[in-house]
Structure 1
Amino acid sequence: MAKELAKQYNPSEVEDRTYDFWCKNKYFHAKREEGKKTYTIVIPPPNITGQLHMGHALDNTLQDILIRYHRMAGYDTLWLPGTDHASIATEAKIVEKMREEGITKEDLGRDKFLERAWDWKKQYGGRIIEQLKKMGSSCDWDRERFTLDEGCSKAVREVFVGLYDKDLIYRGNRMVNWCPHCNTSISDAEVEYEEKEGNFWHLLYTVKETGEKLELATTRPETMLGDTAVAINGDDPRYAHLHGCHVILPLLNKEIPIVCDEHADMTKGTGVVKITPAHDPNDFEVGLRHNLPIVRTFTYDGHMTGAKDKAVADEIFASGRATQNEPEVLDCGKYAGMTTLEARKAIIADLEAGGYIKEIEPLKHDVGTCYRCHSTIEPMVSKQWFVKMDPLAGPAIDAVENGDIKFVPERFKKNYMSWMRGTRDWCISRQLWWGHRIPAWYCDDCGATMVSKEDLCECTKCGSKNIKQDPDTLDTWFSSALWPFSTLGWPDETEDLKHYYPTNTLVTGYDIIGFWVSRMIFSGLAYTDKAPFDTVLIHGLVRDAQGRKMSKSLGNGIDPLEIIDKYGADALRFTLATGNSPGNDMRFSDDKVMASRNFANKLWNAARFVLMYLGDDFKYNGLPQNLLIEDKWIVSKANSLAKEVTENLDKYELGIAVQKLYDFIWDVFCDWYIEIAKIRLQGDDESAKDDVKAVLVFVLTYILKLLHPFMPFITEEIYQAIPHDAESIMVSEWCKFDESLTFEADETEMEKIMASIRAIRNRRAEMNIPPSKKSKVFIETSNIATFSNGVDFVKRLAYANEVEVNESFGDLGNVVTIITDDARVYIPLGDLVDFEAEKKRLEKELATAEDKLEFINKKLNNPGFVNKAPEKVVQQNKDDAAKLEEKIAQIKKSIEEIAQQ
Structure 2
Amino acid sequence: MSTELSKTFDPAAIEAKWYSHWEGTGAFRPERPDAEPFTIVNPPPNVTGSLHIGHALDNTLQDIVIRYERLRGKDALWVVGMDHAGIATQMVVERQMEERQDKRTNYSREEFVDKVWEWKAESGGTITKQLRRLGCSMDWSREQFTMDEHFTKAVLKVFVDLHEKGLIYRDKRLVNWDPKLKTAISDLEVETENVAGHFWTFEYPLADESGSIRVSTTRPETMLADMAVAVHPDDDRYKDLVARGAKVKLPITGREIPIVADEHADPELGSGAVKITPGHDFNDFDVGKRAGIAAGDMLNMLDAEAAVCQTADGLVPDELIGMDRFDARKRVVEMLKESGHLVPYVTKTKKGEEQVLDAEPRTIATPFGDRGGVVIEPWLTDQWYVDAETLAQKPIEAVRSGEVEIVPKTWEKTFFNWMENIQPWCVSRQLWWGHRIPAWYDADGNAYVAMSEEEAQAKAGEGVALTRDEDVLDTWFSSALWPFATLGWPDETAMLKKHYPNSLLISGFDILFFWDARMLMSGYFNMGERPWDKLYLHGLVRAADGSKMSKSKGNVVDPLGLIDQYGADALRFFMAAMESQGRDIKMDEKRVEGYRNFATKLWNATRFCQSNGIGKSDTIKAPAAKLAANQWIIGEVQQTCEALEAAMADLRFDAAANTIYQFTWSRFCDWYLELIKPVLQGDADSPAAVETREVAGWALDQIFVMLHPFMPFVTEELWHAQASFEGGERSYDLILAKWPDPRAEVSKDATDAIDWTIALTTATRGARNELGISPGEKLAAFVANPSDVASRVLERSSAAIERLARLSPVTVGEAPAGAAMQVTAGDDVFIVPLEGVIDIDAERARLEKALAASQKEAGSLQGRLGNANFVERAAPEAVEKARDDLAHHTAEIARLEGALARLG
Distance 1:334 1:72 in 2: 73
**After superposition, what is the alpha-carbon deviation per residue over 1:830-888, rounded to whole angstroms, capped at 9, x for unaligned?**
733446679999999xxxxxxxxxxxxxxxxxxxxxxxxxxxxxxxxxxxxxxxxxxx9
Matched with 1:884 is none
Residue of structure 2 equivalent to 1:345:
330
Structure 1 residue aligned with 2:712: 712
Inter-CA distance 690–619: structure 2 relative to 1 (3 Å threshold): farther
Separation in 1, partners of 2:32, 2:165: 35
Equivalent of residue 804 in structure 2, options 797, 801, 821: 797
Once the two structures are TM-superposed, the CA of residue 392 in structure 1 deviates from its matched residue by 1.2
Unaligned 5+ residue runs, structure 1?
315-327, 845-887, 896-901
| Counterpart for residue 581 of structure 2 | 582
Report if aligned partners of 1:302, 1:339 keep a CA contact under 8 Å in 2: yes
The answer to which of 64-73 and 395-404 deviates more is 395-404
Amino acid corresponding to residue 753 of structure 1 in structure 2: T
Partner secondary structure for residue 502 of structure 2: coil
Give the corresponding residue for 2:739.
734
Separation (CA, whole Å) in 1 of partners of 2:829 and 2:416: 62
Separation (CA, whole Å) in 2 of partners of 1:697 and 1:546: 43
CA–CA separation in structure 2 for the residues paired with 1:329 and 1:712:
70
Match of 1:558 in 2: 557
Taking structure 2 as the reference length, what is the TM-score of the superposition? 0.86
Task: State the shift of 1:93 in Å.
Answer: 0.7
Q: Secondary structure at the match of 2:505?
A: strand
Aligned counterparts of 1:642 and 1:792: Cα–Cα separation in 2: 31
Letter in 2 for 1:728: D
Cα offset, 1:574, TM superposition: 0.8
> Partner of 1:323 in structure 2?
none
Alignment of 1:850-869 (within 5 A): none
Structure 1-normalised TM-score?
A: 0.87
What displacement does 1:263 show?
2.0
Alignment-derived partner of residue 185 in structure 1: 184
Cα deviation, residue 390, structure 1: 2.3
Match of 1:12 in 2: 12
Once residues 19 and 435 of structure 2 are traced to their aligned partners in structure 1, the CA distance between those partners, rounded to angstroms, is: 35
- AA in 1 matched with 2:796: N
Report matched runs for 1:523-534 at 5 Å.
523-534=522-533
Counterpart contact for 2:632–2:750, Cα < 8 Å: yes
For 1:302, the equivalent position in structure 2 comes to 306
* Superposed CA offset, 1:487-526 (max 9, x none): 1111111111111001111111111111111111111101
Q: SS of 2:687's equivalent?
A: helix
Q: How far apart are the structure 1 equivalents of 2:308 and 2:730? A: 74
Q: Give the direction of change, closer, same or farther, for the CA distance of 1:824–1:277 in structure 2 (3 Å limit).
A: closer
Q: How far is 1:817 from its partner?
A: 5.4
Q: Residue by residue, what CA displacement relative to the aligned partner does 1:19-77 show, whole Å, maximum 9, x if unpaired?
A: 1111122110012623x221110110000000110011100000001101111112111
Deviates more, 1:276-285 or 1:48-57: 276-285
Deviates more, 1:790-799 or 1:269-278: 790-799
Residue identity matched to 2:836: D
Q: How does 1:232-381 map to 2 (within 5 A)?
A: 232-243=231-242, 244-292=245-293, 293-306=297-310, 331-358=316-343, 359=345, 360-381=359-380
Residue 177 of structure 1 contacts residue 380 of structure 1 at CA under 8 Å; is this kept in 2? yes
Separation in structure 2 between the aligned mates of residue 138 and residue 158 of structure 1, nearest angstrom: 31
Which deviations, in whole Å up to 9, do the C-alpha atoms of 1:447-467 show, x marking residues without a partner?
542111123384643422632
Q: Contact between 1:459 and 1:467, CA under 8 Å: does it hold in 2?
A: no
User: Is this contact kept in 1: 2:38–2:77, CA < 8 A?
Assistant: yes
Distance 2:604 2:732 in 1: 23
For residue 330 of structure 1, report the CA deviation from its aligned partner. Answer: 6.1
Match of 1:787 in 2: 794
- 1:167 to partner: Cα distance: 1.7
Q: In structure 2, what is the equivalent of residue 325 of structure 1?
A: none
Describe the SS at the equivalent of 2:30.
Answer: coil
Give the conservation status (yes or no) of the 8 Å contact 2:226–2:275. Answer: yes
Equivalent residue letter for 2:472 = T
Seen in structure 2, the aligned counterparts of structure 1 residues 290 and 676 have a Cα distance that, compared at 3 Å, is same
Deviation at 1:777, TM superposition (A): 5.3
- Between the aligned partners of 2:335 and 2:398, the Cα distance in structure 1 is 56
The percent of aligned pairs where both chains have the same amino acid is 40
Matched, 1:757 2:761: yes
SS in 1 for 2:195: strand
Residue by residue, what CA displacement relative to the aligned partner does 1:525-584 show, whole Å, maximum 9, x if unpaired?
011101111111101111111212122222221111111111110011111111211332
Amino acid across the alignment from 1:96: R
Using the alignment, how far apart are the partners of 2:139 and 2:799 within structure 1?
52
- Structure 2: how far apart are the matches of 1:65 and 1:571? 13
In 1, distance between residues paired with 2:644 and 2:314?
65
Between 1:598-607 and 1:719-728, the stretch displaced more is 719-728
Q: How many angstroms does 1:627 deviate by?
A: 2.6
How far apart, in 2, do the equivalents of 1:832 and 1:213 lie? 96
Instruction: Provide the rounded CA distance (Å) in 2 between the counterparts of 1:370 and 1:275.
Output: 24
Alignment map for 1:881-900 (pairs within 5 Å): none
d(CA) in 2 for partners of 1:2, 1:703: 22
Q: Residue in 2 aligned with 1:546?
A: 545
Aligned length: 824
Cα distance in structure 1, aligned partners of 2:680 and 2:818: 36
For 2:400, the aligned partner's letter is E
- The structural deviation recorded for 1:270 is 2.5
What are the equivalent positions in structure 2 for 1:184-223 lying under 5 Å apart? 184-209=183-208, 211-223=210-222
| Matched residue, 2:837 | 832
| Cα distance in structure 2, aligned partners of 1:771 and 1:290 | 86
Give the 3 Å change call, closer, same or farther, for CA 829–253 of structure 1 in structure 2. closer
Partner in structure 2 of residue 507 of structure 1: 506
Task: Give yes or no for the alignment of 1:450 onto 2:430.
Answer: no
- Which amino acid in 2 is paired with 1:721? A
